[in-house]
């Protein structure tokens, strides 16, 4: 193995299994380490401190270059508000002219993302769900990736959470959390009437849950929000979304046959399926936000 082979020959031998190292542990412990050659070696903090002038000139030059590129890009942008801009095409006209009539939502953005482009939003919710599932795969604690030291740390954290002498954070969380969650619910339910909707409202609810969990600890949170409720809420939200939106596929992608009653535009119970879809998206986003927090801090929901 000392002679130099070409990369392809190495690969062939590796695939055939000829390059197996016997006693790999012994080999790893005895081999000489490769000298690491990286740019960090040349540009240490010491080097920067010695050559302050060069560093200043370089940083100013790079900043000026970037500013020039950005300004030139801004200069070549079409004028704001021009009627002949490429953004002003028939799609925008259609949305603005017949958006309320076709979707029943006063908030055009909600009408767009939850009616015209509902499948796009469905994909986004699935992406969130998949991301949190990947984090669960990697970080959820079980017998194989769990040491006694971690358990001791978690017990210390619980001790600090429960035996607080000056519970300023807990009193604050008690005051603020209900208001935050209430505001999130308002944003979700008013998604088709005012700016907001499932994603922003769900994020606000998730922030409220994170605040509560960080003030009162994992154990108190698990009295009403366990891993089972988390998966149930996420999966039922996604399935409801899927069922609500499949109707337009099964009716020929054109809402033919059965028309959902739109109601009077401006009422809270209007605009067809947009309200339940907003609720589904909001639940998924809230669970995802809290799930990320809980998994990254404690390794368990």
Partner 1 sequence: MREAIAAIFIIFGLIVFLISIFGIFRFKYVLNRMHAAALGDTLGLGLIVVGLMIYSLNFFVVAKLLLIILFFWLSAPIATHSIAKVEVLTNKNYEERVREK
Q: Which single residue is written with the structure tokens 């300004």?
A: 71
Does 77 bind partner 1 (CB under 8 A)? Our answer is no
Rounded CA-CA distance 105/126 in Å is 24
Which of these ranges, 90-98, 167-175, 245-253, 274-282, lies near partner 1 under the rule CB under 8 A? 167-175
Tokens read off for 124: 């986004």
Interatomic CA distance for residues 59 and 81, integer angstroms: 36
Nearer to partner 1, 176 or 233 (CB): 176
Write the DSSP assignment of 5-26 as a string of letters: --HHHHHHHHHHTTTPPSSHHH
| 294 half-sphere exposure, CB direction, 13 A CA radius | 29
Distance CA 194, CA 106 (A): 7
Site for partner 1 contains 172 (CB under 8 A): yes
The one among 15, 168, 256, 264 contacting partner 1 by CB under 8 A? 168
Least separation in angstroms between residue 269's CB and partner 1 is: 25
Binders of partner 1: how many residues, by CB under 8 A? Answer: 6
| Nearest by Cα to 209 from 240, 238, 189, 185 | 185
Please report how close the Cβ of residue 183 comes to partner 1 at its closest, in angstroms: 10
Q: Which stretch binds partner 1 (CB under 8 A): 13-21, 169-177, 198-206, 245-253?
A: 169-177
* Closest to partner 1 by CB, 207 or 238: 207
Quick one: which of 133, 135, 136, 169 contacts partner 1 (CB under 8 A)?
Answer: 169
How near is the Cβ of 197 to partner 1 at its closest, in Å?
20
| Region near partner 1 per CB under 8 A, out of 57-65, 172-180, 239-247, 255-263 | 172-180
- Residue closest to 105 by CA, chosen among 273, 242, 284, 258: 273
Minimum distance between the CB of residue 59 and partner 1, rounded to whole angstroms?
16
Nearer to partner 1, 143 or 166 (CB): 166
CB under 8 A: which stretch of 7-15, 35-43, 104-112, 173-181 binds partner 1?
Answer: 173-181
45 binds partner 1 (CB under 8 A): no
What span, in angstroms and rounded, lies between the C-alpha atoms of 185 and 204?
Answer: 9
Among 13, 136, 176, 265, binds partner 1 (CB under 8 A): 176
Which residues 6+ apart lie within 8 Å of 241 measured at CB? 122, 125, 277, 280, 281
Q: Please give the C-alpha separations between residue 132 and each of 140, 144, 152, 245, in angstroms, as whole numbers.
A: 11, 20, 26, 23
Closest approach, Cβ 168 to partner 1, in A, equals 5
Residues in touch with partner 1 (CB under 8 A): 168-169, 172-173, 175-176
């Amino acid at each position: 193995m000392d002679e130099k082979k070409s990369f392809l020959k190495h690969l062939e031998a590796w695939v055939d299994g000829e390059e197996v190292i016997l006693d790999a542990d012994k080999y790893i412990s005895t081999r000489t380490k490769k000298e690491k050659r990286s740019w960090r070696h040349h540009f240490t903090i010491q080097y920067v401190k010695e050559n302050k002038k060069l560093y200043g000139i370089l940083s100013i030059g790079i900043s000026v270059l970037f500013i020039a590129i950005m300004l030139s890009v801004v200069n070549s942008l079409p004028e704001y508000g021009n009627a002949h801009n490429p953004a002003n095409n028939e799609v925008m006209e259609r949305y603005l002219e017949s958006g309320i009539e076709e979707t029943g939502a006063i908030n055009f953005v909600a009408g767009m993302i939850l009616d015209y482009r509902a499948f796009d939003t469905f994909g986004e919710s699935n992406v969130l769900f998949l991301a949190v599932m990947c984090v669960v795969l990697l970080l959820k604690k079980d017998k194989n990736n769990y040491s006694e030291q971690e358990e001791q740390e978690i017990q210390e954290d619980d001790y600090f959470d429960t035996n607080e002498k000056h519970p300023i954070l807990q009193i604050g969380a008690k005051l603020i959390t209900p208001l935050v969650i209430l505001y999130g619910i308002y944003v979700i339910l008013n998604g088709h009437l005012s700016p907001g909707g499932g994603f922003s409202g769900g994020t606000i609810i998730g922030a409220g849950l994170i605040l509560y969990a960080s003030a009162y600890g994992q154990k108190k949170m698990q009295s009403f929000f366990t891993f089972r409720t988390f998966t149930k809420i996420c999966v039922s939200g996604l399935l409801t979304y899927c069922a609500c939106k499949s109707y337009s596929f099964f009716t020929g992608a054109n809402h033919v046959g059965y028309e959902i009653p739109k109601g009077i535009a401006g009422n809270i119970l209007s605009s067809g399926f947009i309200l339940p879809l907003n609720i589904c998206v909001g639940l998924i986003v809230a669970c995802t936000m809290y799930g990320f927090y809980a998994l990254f801090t404690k390794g368990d929901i």
